[in-house]
Amino acid sequence: MTLKDTPTLARIAPSILASDFANLQSEVEMLNESEADWVHIDIMDGVFVPNISFGIPVCEAIAKHARKPLDVHLMIVQPEKYLEAFKNAGAAVISVHYEACPHLHRTLQQIRDLGCQAGVALNPHTPVSVLEEVLELADLVCMMSVNPGFGGQKFIPRTFDKVRQLRRMIETQGTQTLIEIDGGVSLDNASELMKAGADVLVAGNTVFKAQNPKQMIGDLKKSSK
Ligand code: DX5
Ligand code: ZN
């Protein structure tokens, strides 16, 4: 088998938003024992998105129990104000929205300067081409495959094409940027997403509403490219 034939398995980032908040510690312990790679944490402010989730104290509480890196997705306006607070709350990866950052170049640099991995999230209506000038500063692109704000929505199929476009841009520029898919990921689209060039699959409802969440994480992980 040549190196090229070695399949790259999906990294799985279960989204805590779909977990049982009244039993957060046991949900995080389940993730610790699973094949999950990251813990995806959705922060919503009721302004950038039409919903409010939870904030810094909950992130700290998760960090206390998690043995996997925390992947914090900020769906908030003026995210630059809170980068340090989320770093101190345990974030390993921090993603900010392109649509919420007039000075995205600076904001991504600030995330890296804090010692975190810098991510940029794109709404479904935002073309991949807007990332051309900042790709080298992005360790991760969180590509929204639903409109941000709620879990359990239907996957938008145009995402496949956007993943292929972004993969081409990453190859052309020679960056190490990871492509993360966020929203409506399930066993029905995981393999196709990986084949299109994705690296990380976020899954909320698919994992936490499954009969056996730990097994579902393992099943999603088998998707490869
Ligand atoms: C949506 C969030 C997603 C969400 C995914 O605004 O950013 O991370 O939790 O949930 P599912 O996998 O249920 O679509
Ligand atoms: Zn998210």
Instruction: Please say if 71 is a catalytic residue.
Output: no
Mutate to test the pocket of ligand 1, among 123, 153, 156, 181 (most ligand atoms within 8 A of CB): 153
CA of 189, nearest ligand number: 1
Task: Evaluate: CB of 73 within 6 angstroms of ligand 1.
Answer: yes
Tell me, in angstroms, the distance from the centre of ligand 1 to residue 96's CA: 15
Q: How does pLDDT run along the chain (225 residues), one tens digit per residue?
A: 456 678 999 999 999 999 999 999 999 999 999 999 999 999 999 999 999 999 999 999 999 999 999 999 999 999 999 999 999 999 999 999 999 999 999 999 999 999 999 999 999 999 999 999 999 999 999 999 999 999 999 999 999 999 999 999 999 999 999 999 999 999 999 999 999 999 999 999 999 999 999 999 999 999 999
Residue 49 backbone zone (phi > 0: left; psi -120 to 50: alpha; other: beta): beta
Rounded to 5°, the CA angle 68-69-75 comes to 130
Task: Evaluate: CB of 99 within 6 angstroms of ligand 1.
Answer: no
- Sorted by sequence, the CB contacts under 8 Å of residue 172 that are 6+ apart come out as none
Atom of ligand 1 nearest to the CA of 148: 6
Query: What pLDDT, in 10s, does the model give residues 120-145?
Result: 999 999 999 999 999 999 999 999 99
C-alpha span between 210 and 75 (Å, rounded): 26
Instruction: Please say if 139 is a catalytic residue.
Output: no
Query: What pLDDT, in 10s, does the model give residues 88-118?
Result: 999 999 999 999 999 999 999 999 999 999 9
Nearest to 138 by CA among 92, 172, 170: 170
The secondary structure element, H or E, covering residue 42 is strand 39-44
Q: Which residue has a Cα nearest atom 9 of ligand 1?
A: 151
Q: Is the pTM of this model over 0.95?
A: yes
Task: Evaluate: CB of 186 within 6 angstroms of ligand 1.
Answer: no
Nearest to 169 by CA among 224, 129, 209: 129
CATH superfamily of 11-223: Aldolase class I (3.20.20.70)
Task: Evaluate: CB of 202 within 6 angstroms of ligand 1.
Answer: yes
Tell me, in angstroms, the distance from the centre of ligand 2 to residue 2's CA: 35
Task: Evaluate: CB of 74 within 6 angstroms of ligand 1.
Answer: no
Task: Evaluate: CB of 40 within 6 angstroms of ligand 1.
Answer: yes
Which of the residues 37, 71, 139, 182 is marked catalytic? 182
- Sorted by sequence, the CB contacts under 8 Å of residue 218 that are 6+ apart come out as 34, 35
CA of 16, nearest ligand number: 1
CA 93 to chain centre: 9
Which of the residues 42, 45, 71, 199 is marked catalytic? 42
Task: Evaluate: CB of 95 within 6 angstroms of ligand 1.
Answer: no
Q: Domain boundaries in the chain?
A: 11-223
